Structure formats: C-alpha cells, structure tokens
Structure 1
Amino acid sequence: MSQLSRLINILTLLKSRRVLTASELSERYDVSIRTIYRDIQKLIESGVPVVTLEGRGYTLMDGYTVAPVQFTEKQANALITAHHLVNNSKDASFVKDFEEALIKIKSVFRSTVLEKSEILSSKIHVFEPRQESFASNALSELQIAITHLNYVEINYRKANDTEISFRKIEPYVFFSTENKWILLAWCHLREGYRAFRVDRIQHFKILPEQFVDRKFSIQDYFAACPYDFEKNERPNTPN
C-alpha cells in the first residue's frame, strides 16, 4: 500500500470518530510506529485537524466535517490518472501540493469508489521516453507569484554554462514540454521576454512588490519567433 493510500485509509477511520493509537495503526498497515508518526504529521500538514488525546491516541477535532461533495467513479479515475502524471513532473513542490489536495479530495470518495480508485492506481504506469536528470522545487511558489503579480529574483544557470546570472523577472506563463516546466517572464536584465527552465533556477525569492501587468500573450510570443523545443530557447534570443 502506498503512503497516499494509507493516509486516505487513516483519515477514513478517523472520520468514523474512532480514537486510534499508533500501535493499532502500525499493526493494521504493517508499518513501523515511526512511519505512522510521519503519516499523522503529513495529514496535519495537509490541513486535517488531527489531535492527540494524551494516553489514548489520535482523533479528529470536534466539529470537523468534509463538504458533501460526491465524485463518480470516472471522475475519481481522472484524479488518480492525473496523480500519476503529476508525479512525473519532476517538481517536488507541485507533487507535494497535489498529493495534499488529493488526500482531502479522496476523503469524500464513497467507499466503493475509493476501493476501485486504489485498484486503478496500481494498474497505471507512466514511463519516460528519455531518462534525463532534472528536478525542481519552485513551481508552486512561482504559480502564486504569477497570479499575484509579484516580482521574482532568481539565480539562473543556462544549459552547458557554469556561470550563474542574477535576474529580476515578472513571471507570466508556464508551459510544459518533455516533463520540463518552462517559465515565460519579462527579464529586467535583458529588457524583454525570456524563457527559463524551472529546474535551472538555482535560487529564487518572491518579492512583496507587485508589477504592472504587461498583458503578455503567449500566442503573440510564439508567433513573433517560434520556440525551439529541442534546445529550450527562441533562436537568437539568449536567456
């Protein structure tokens, strides 16, 4: 059983207003007590109000309810499939936020739908045609910067370049190609729109200052100069 499946099962038990001990959960799911501690912490971090009753175990905070939303089996299957695709995105922040959201969503699945969704999850596999080493942990924060129009400072390293450049950017659009996330932004250093691979951003800082929306159009951007998806750049416009 995967961690996500175990978390959903624990949450389902807690919703029945049971008081559960770490030892009981450890035996039930055949994992260590330390693993159960991590599971409970994961639920808390996901926004589930798990409380500890001294000497008794875990339960849910009084008054906690889940909105009465119902999902069909097909809708549940779509979410399960999306989870596998998200796991292939190579951005740790995005994967973490999606899994925490999915915990909450799956907590309202009917038991029959939940059971079928777990079966489907074990039968979906996503393979990468290319084995390339790249990873990032900035997507979720940068998404917030886009919707709130916040300036972002980044340290960026281009491909096959040991030099790291400092940029102040106005983030506008993400797109994904070959499991890589690309950020299109106005770069104050270059005084123009540039594409930045998120996994090449070494460090970033979201600034509280907001920029004036330039009404960026991705259609106009690509029409002006087609993007080279193989090299991850627009011809003659270095980052």
Structure 2
Amino acid sequence: MSQLSRLISILTLLKSKRLLTASELSKKYDVSIRTIYRDIRKLEEAGVPVTTIEGRGYSLMDHYTVAPVQFTEKQANALITAQHIVNQSKDVSFVTDFNEALIKIKSVFKSSVQEKSELLNGKIHIFNWEYEEFSSDALSEIQLAITNFNLVEINYQKADDPNITFRKIEPYAFYSTNNKWILIAWCHLRNDYRAFRIDRIQHFKILHDTFENRGFKLQDYFQSDPYDDK
C-alpha cells in the first residue's frame, strides 16, 4: 500500500472511530509505529485536525468533514447482503434504523455500483426456518441507553411463565442468537447480571437517571456461567 492510500485509509478510520492508537494502526497496515507517527504528522501538515490524547490515542476534532467515501462494488455488495440479514431481525426499530441509514449510504454509491447493487438485491434470499410470533421495538432505544449509561425500567415475561415482573436494570451489552436479541444487564431485583430476551420485554422506559459502570466485559461474561431470565 502506498503512503497516500494509507493516509486516506487512516483518515477514514479516524472518521469512523473515536480513538485509534499508533499500535492498532501499525498492526493494521503492517508498518512500524514510527511510520504511523510520520503518517499522522503528514495529515496534520495537510490541515487535518488530528488530536493526540495522551496515553489513549488519536482522534479528530468534532464536526470535521471529508469528501464522501467511495465504495467498491464488493463493499456495496456486502452492505446489500447485510441488509437481507438485518431484515430477518425481529426488532422493528433496529430494522428501520438500519434501512434508513443504508439509504443515506447508497446515496454516495457511484451510479455503476448502485445499478449492480440493485441487481444483486433481487438475487438474495435468506430462509428463516425458526418462526416465532414474538417481535420487539426496543433495540434502538436500548442501544442508546447502553452507550449513555441510562437506567431502564422494564416489564418482563419469561418463557413459559404467564407472570410479568417489573425490573429496573443497568443495560451493558447485547448479542443475537437464532434471530433473537439478548440483552445483558445488571438487574436490581436479582442483584446480579441477567440475560433478557428483548422480544419478551412487554414495556420499557428509558430513565434520565444514569448508573456507574461496573466494568462489565462481554468476553468475561461468556467465559463465566451466567444466569439468565430468558
């Protein structure tokens, strides 16, 4: 990869991620950390407002914009395929937000790439053999609660249980299995981490109150033997 190509790629990464370390960049491009230092200096000399956060990495000043990114045909095809996978989700809010975002992304496709992506769109079908009537409309809001550390109140119904319980939770992470979204949260009722199927949340309310991060790590959670309320 030429230095110019690497500089453009680094700039794109900086726009898509809040913080990047020199070590991360050197591994990604298989160059020395000293080379990354020189690349960052080149971007600064070109007027790109790269901010160095001591001990954490590089970032861009807020509101800095660059020319629209050009997608390759393979990248466009990957997005079209991802749309079909996302549309299998049982959460209405997630599907809606993704499709609206994709419309904006497709607006910067070159006409030739857009034409071919539309052709591919009609040639993909994903079968879902596991059908359930359950659906949800909470994922997008809960994602915001996770990133802003907002407490959430939910009414929850466990599988094979007619009773609905009220919970106040601290949402930390979520994962998907068999087209079902699972929320991992600290449950104040159980005083422990619990896993909740989002499509079994009967009602939810995002509170203005925030919580202190308990240092939750998804990898550690999976390595343990977690309890769940699914």
TM-score by length of 2: 0.69
What residue is the counterpart of 2:187 in the other structure? 187
Counterpart-to-counterpart distance in 2, 1:75 and 1:210 = 38
How far has the Cα of 1:238 moved from its partner? 4.8
2:104 is equivalent to residue 113 of structure 1: no
What residue is the counterpart of 1:222 in the other structure? 222
1:86-125 alignment runs, 5 A limit: 86-125=86-125
Aligned residues: 165
Query: For residues 170-220 of structure 1, what are the alpha-carbon distances to aligned partners after superposition, in whole Å with 9 as ceiling and x for unaligned?
Result: 000101100000000000000000000000001101011110000112232
Query: For residues 5-27 of structure 1, what are the alpha-carbon distances to aligned partners after superposition, in whole Å with 9 as ceiling and x for unaligned?
Result: xxxxxxxxxxxxxxxxxxxxxxx
CA contact (8 A) 2:150 2:170 kept: yes
Judged with a 3 Å threshold, the aligned counterparts in structure 2 of structure 1 residues 111 and 103 are, in CA distance, closer, same or farther, namely same
1:1-239 alignment runs, 5 A limit: 67-225=67-225, 234=227, 238=229
Runs of 4+ in 1 over 4 A off after TM superposition: none
* Unpaired stretches in structure 1, ≥5 consecutive residues: 1-65, 227-233
How far has the Cα of 1:132 moved from its partner? 2.2
Query: For residues 5-50 of structure 1, what are the alpha-carbon distances to aligned partners after superposition, in whole Å with 9 as ceiling and x for unaligned?
Result: xxxxxxxxxxxxxxxxxxxxxxxxxxxxxxxxxxxxxxxxxxxxxx
Q: Counterpart amino acid of 1:159?
A: A
CA RMSD of superposed structures (Å): 1.5
Counterpart-to-counterpart distance in 2, 1:72 and 1:199 = 36
**Sequence identity percentage:** 68
CA contact (8 A) 2:196 2:229 kept: no
Counterpart-to-counterpart distance in 2, 1:86 and 1:213 = 29
* Unpaired stretches in structure 2, ≥5 consecutive residues: 1-65
Q: Counterpart amino acid of 1:153?
A: E
Counterpart-to-counterpart distance in 2, 1:199 and 1:86 = 16
DSSP 3-state at the match of 2:205: strand
DSSP 3-state at the match of 1:145: helix
